[in-house]
Structure formats: C-alpha cells, structure tokens
Structure 1
Amino acid sequence: MGWLGPEEWSAVALSLRVSFWAMLVSLPFGVFTALALARWSFPGKQIVNGIVHLPLILPPVVTGYLLLLTFGVRGPVGGLLDRVGITLAFHWTGAALAAGIMAFPLMVRAIRLSIEAVDPRLEQAAATLGASRGWVFLTVTLPMILPGILAGAILAFAKAMGEFGATITFVSNIPGQTQTIPSAIYAFLQVPGGEGAALRLVAVSVAVAMGALLVSEAVSTRVARRVAGA
C-alpha cells in the first residue's frame, strides 16, 4: 500500500491501535453488562440500560465534552489519574477510551441478544447438578454465547475505527498522537489539494469496516455451527 503517505499511514496505524485497545478493554465489561441486563433483576435496571445506550442517543460531541470534564487533567477522575502518571486527555489512550465508550452499546446489544437466546432451562439443569453460578456460566452459557461475543467485539472494533466526534472533542486532532482516520480525513479536507489523501483514507476506512463485518459474520456462523454440533 505504497499509495499511502507517511501521515496517512500514521493515521491508519493509530486507528488500528486505538480500536484494538478500545475493543479489548471494554469486552469484559460488555459481557458482564450484557449478562446483568439479560439475566439479573435489580433496582434501577432500566436506568442502567439507559446509561449504557446513552452514547447512541447523545451527540458524539456531547459525549466527548463529558469525557473531557471527567477525565481531563482538571476533572475528578483525570486529576487522580494524572497524579499516578496516567494521562487520557489529548493522548491516544483517551482516544481509545472515547472510541470504546461510543462502541460499547453495540457490543452490549450483540452479546445481550445472544444471552437471551440461550434456554435458561439448560443453565438451571446444570445448577441442579451442583454446579456453581460461575461454573455454569463458563461451561454452559459462555460456549453458547461465544458467537455473540465475537460479533459484538468485531462490531465494536469497526465502530471504534469510525469514531470522530467524541474523539476529536476529548483528545483533539494531533498528527501522530491522536489523529485517527476520521480526524485525518477531516484535516485533509480543510486544506487545498487534500482531497486525494482524504479519498484514500475513506477507501481504507470502508475496506476495514466491510472486512470487519464479513469476518464477524463468518466467525459467528462457524462458531455457532461448532456449538450446535458439540
């Protein structure tokens, strides 16, 4: 792919890095949240469900500004993290946080649907044999919802690759540090003669997104067949 310049390659590499860590770190929280919403009954469940899906409803800029207020150097959480040497605002780690939060609802929804498709009687049967709740989840529930987990993870990765509003608000658009593919496209479109570079990055973005969706479908189908045949 020699047709990409150094600045474009930097944006692609950073986007892949940000998206990977956004997906990886949020995955355990996504599984736990989906399990809680699908299987548990607790006070304020609908409020939790609303908070989880809030990034889908709020303008991304609003989400980014809330992140800046919370995780910025002067924010309540960001100030504490800064004291131990962890910086999120205007850093690639902040871009990963923003992308992960924006992609989190899609991940949770995919996993939750797979959990709700599992027959609770199978879990109850394992429990009656003396298995603990954790062991039931690991041996019965987890193998059956694995296609949903993989689909949710890949979908979150693709969503994180395209995140722009919250990211640019929280970490700005610093080439080589926080400039992801969407930010780079925006920057190239602001300068004369940048349309070519922007178009190349658009092509990369479309290819990665379509590839992620195809892989998600293929992996989910393959794992589902293995689980069904087990």
Structure 2
Amino acid sequence: MLNMLSNIISRSIVTVGVFAMTVIYFCTACSGGNYADVERVVRNHLEPYKELYALVLQTGKVTLPLGGKYPHVTHPLPGGTETPISNVWIVNGNYMGETYECHGCDSCMIRYRDAGLITYNVIRRDSASVSATVWLTEKGKQYLIERHISEFHPIINAWRRREQLEVVLVAKEKFDVEIHPSDTTAVYHCKAYRKLEITPFIEALKPAGEEARPDYMRRLRVDFKSKEHPVVTCTEIESV
C-alpha cells in the first residue's frame, strides 16, 4: 500500500462523512456572540464536504498471496467490485463507490501485526500464498468504524456476521478555518484548509508527515445580513 496515502490525499471531497474540525479564529472586529454564529455556520457548511476512509479487513482464517518488499495499493480495473472477498480494500465513507484494492499480500498483515493492530498467525506458507488467522487486537478494535460514526449502518454487521469482515477507520478529513478581520458584523471572509487525520492503520504502512500538511483551501464568504438565514458562498478552491 505504498501509495495509499497519496491516493487518499489527492481525491476530491464529494461524500458526506463524519468529521472533526479545528477552528482557528483571527477575527478581532466581531463580538463574542458572532464568534459562535460564525463557527456554527462554517461547520454546517463544511460538513457535507468531510469524508472518512475505511479499511475492510477479512478476519478469521484467510488465504492471502505473498507480498513483496513493500505494501501496495492499486486502483481497481473495470469490474473491481468482483474482487475476491478474501482481499483487503479501501472504500469511501459510504462503503460503496470508488474503491482502492490491496491484493491481500501478507506484507500488509505483518505491518499491522507489528503495530499491535491484529494477531496474524501463519498456518501454512507455500510459493504463492499464505494461510493464516487474522483477528483484531484490543488496540485495533479502537478503530472499528462504528465507534467513529453516528449513524447505524446495517451493512457493517452484515459483513461481520456473514463474511467475518471488519471495517476499521484509516483516515478522516478535517478543516482548519481562518476567519479574517472584518469592518462589519454582516459579512465575513474565511479560509478553510483541508487536512487528513490518520490512524495507525495508515501509519503502519507509511511514515506519517505528508498528511499533516493541508493540500487545498476553500475561500468562503459568510453573509450575516439575514440572522435567521446566513448565506455561505465558496468563492474559490485552490491548492496549497
């Protein structure tokens, strides 16, 4: 999964997800009451653009191909939904749609084992594959997706019950928001910087650091002329 993190970082944000946001205020001209209003409006506006990323991992007895020196991830070819169920893959926040597939090599499992996220006990190894058992540890269970989302998704329990699949969080997006000084309390101009917050399921495969840098920024105009119905307009999106 060498390029997993760069694939995630480069994707556009298009699906609704669950998110954490740090709001940094640099507004000196507005009152304390308007701080709360600006925060509420900006959070509500950005929420639909926040996405989280999950890893669907088969547990129990598995058969995986031998891995090379490095973990890997590939973008699926047409028909990628037919990936064998024993493989590991990345899905977006809706657990559907665009998919990143890891062809289940044991090098990824070894990294997860060494990070304390899974138990990985090899039963048999031949020239092309590995038979083993995989289970989440208590540390790994901290990242079960149901612990990080607010809505109930029946597909999660169905996968676990029928296929012994576990869905774990690997990364989620957040926005750092700057609210610029304004001469009026009616209109504010903001910048929202998108970043990734990653979990050990990414850290185990690739050194951290790249995700700490924002990769794009939204310029927002917040119009408070109507207190009941403030309007947020995205005036520009640019790389940073």
TM-score higher than 0.5 here?
A: no
Which protein is richer in helix relative to its size? 1
The structure whose Rg is larger is 2
TM-score normalised by the chain length of structure 1: 0.29
Greater RCO, 1 or 2 (C-alpha within 8 Å, sep 6+): 1
Which protein is richer in strand relative to its size? 2
TM-score normalised by the chain length of structure 2: 0.28
